[in-house]
Amino acid sequence: MRLLQSHSTLAALALAASLSHSNGESPVKRLEEQEFGKTAEGALVKLFTLRNAKGMSAKVMTYGGIITEITVPDRHGAMTNVMLGAADFDQYRKGFPASAAVIGRFANRIAKARFTLDGVEYKLAANNGPNHLHGGRKGFAQVIWQSKALPAGLHEASVQFAYLSQDGEEGYPGNLTVKVTYTLTDDNELRIDYEATADKATPVNLTNHAYFNLAGAGDVLDHELWLAAERYTPADDELIPTGEIASVKGTPLDFTTPTRIGARIDQLKPKPGGYDHNFVLNGDGKSLVLAARASEPRSGRVMEVRTTEPAVQLYTGNHLKHGGFCLETQHYPDSVNRTNFPSTILRPGQTFKSSTSFTFSAK
């Protein structure tokens, strides 16, 4: 595993030739499509490159809706990829351990891999000990999404992915139609908009499992993190919520003032090797509000996360020696089994909508 640091020579030449300048050269080539590889079954995987007028770029592929790269400047203007990613598709196909994939139908954990909805018990894949994690053994992270480039705006570029999760897939009820749109703006913002409809009541909890490293290499323990979260959901040793909602005050989970990620990581009990906790955000769970801000002191890079979701999971890449951190915007884990948590049930006639944005700057 490594951080992708550069584009191919061809891509670099294409970018240089397409950027807009005051001397009248061509405008930004905001969206490019190319073949990226094939699955073991022979299905074609496409890679889309989105660019803005400031030189920022993001790459997303149709396999898993995975973001493979986000390149942003530091305080001196030097461009670096700030995502954990693989060099080629074969690594993703073989199980790259830090994929920035779409997670669904249900992000995070469902206790005992089962839930009851409208009087019917549904049994899911137990792929995390006795529990269900991130939608199952395959989930949305290892399927091919249909893709469509959307009409370019004056200051943005968008590509939309779509997937039909059929009734019974991974044990979930109902046919679920999902659309995920990635938009890169000239404000150095990458926005992800989720939308879903179903023909039968079903749980829906979507996120993206992106691993960030604003330095571009090394561990993330010196990154400073602020979270708009005064509460969290305590969990047991299997990371299943107990149902309680507790204050972060006086705990290693208090990021209400900017704090180094590694400052109190050794105080976590029980020790999961780092953070893997669900934080309850201060927003209303409907509006797009500032949820988190991360900064890296050496490069000066800053990332702000805004979301309509009621919570965010902080994960510090514990299986990767803290090489990246995740801010997975979501509903609470095991919500489908906890009536006191915000509901994740989508019913026929309703439309699930959720948005999360990542905005980059440097200081």
pLDDT value, residue 286: 82
Instruction: Report DSSP state, residue 169.
Output: G
Can 134 be counted among the known catalytic residues? no
Beta pairing class for 84-85 and 2-3: antiparallel
- Residue 149 CA: distances (Å) to CA of 5, 8, 60, 68, 190: 25, 22, 12, 17, 15
Residues 38-47: b if buried by 16+ CB within 10 A, e if exposed: eeeeeeebbb
Which of 120-129, 140-149, 162-171, 281-290 is predicted least confidently?
281-290
Domains for the chain: give ranges and CATH numbers.
2-362 (2.70.98.10)
For residues 188 and 156, is the Cβ–Cβ distance under 8 A? no
SS3 266: helix
Share of the chain above pLDDT 90, in %: 88
For the residues 281-293, what does the mean pLDDT come to? 92
pLDDT per position as a tens digit, 70-115: 999 999 999 999 999 998 999 999 999 999 999 999 999 999 999 9
Which residue, chain included where needed, has tokens 């669904």? 104
CA angle 108, 158, 226 (to 5 degrees): 45
Residues 159 and 305: their CA atoms lie apart, in Å, by: 20
Predicted pLDDT at 151: 86
Contacting residues for 336 by C-beta, under 8 A, at least 6 apart: 106, 110, 115, 117, 203, 344, 345
Length of the chain: 363
Q: Locate tokens 């549904």: which residue?
A: 122
Largest CA distance in the chain: 67
Indicate the pLDDT class of residue 283, thresholds 50, 70 and 90.
confident
Distance CA 98, CA 292 (A): 21
Q: What per-residue string of b and e applies to 99-117 under the rule 16 or more CB within 10 Å gives b?
A: bbbbbbbbbbbbbbbbbeb
Residue 23 has pLDDT above 80, yes or no: no
Name the DSSP letter for residue 152: P
Give 329's Cβ-side CA count (13 Å radius): 28
Whether residue 272 is predicted with pLDDT greater than 90 in this model: the reply is: no
Q: How far apart are CA 118 and CA 202, in angstroms?
A: 10
Q: Which of the 8 DSSP states describes residue 15?
A: H
Nearest CA to 304 among 211, 182, 190, 195? 190
User: What is the reported pTM?
Assistant: 0.92
Q: How far is the C-alpha of 47 from the C-alpha of 35, rounded, in Å?
A: 6
pLDDT averaged over the chain?
A: 92
Average pLDDT value for residue range 265-270? 88
d(CA 24, CA 235): 58
- Read off the pLDDT of residues 181-219 as tens digits, 9 standing for 90 and up: 999 999 999 999 999 999 999 999 999 999 999 999 999
Q: Within 10 A of 347 (CB to CB), how many other CB atoms are there?
A: 14
pLDDT of residue 84: 97
| Residue 328 bears catalytic tag | yes
Instruction: Name the active-site residue from 156, 170, 224, 328.
Output: 328
Select from 333, 353, 360, 328 the least CA-distant residue to 102. Answer: 328
> Which residue in the list 7, 209, 277, 331 is annotated as catalytic?
209
Distance CA 59, CA 80 (A): 13
Q: What SS3 class is residue 337?
A: helix
Report the C-alpha gap between 51 and 29 in whole angstroms. Answer: 7
- The answer to whether 225 and 256 are in contact (CB under 8 A) is no
pLDDT, tens digit, 9 for 90 and up, residues 296-342:
999 999 999 999 999 999 999 999 999 999 999 999 999 999 999 99
Looking at residue 284, what is its pLDDT? 84
The string of pLDDT tens digits covering residues 38-76 is 999 999 999 999 999 999 999 999 999 999 999 999 999
If pLDDT is split at 50, 70 and 90, which confidence band does 28 have? confident
The amino acid that residue 179 corresponds to is K
Which secondary structure element, helix H or strand E, spans residue 49, and what is its range?
strand 44-51
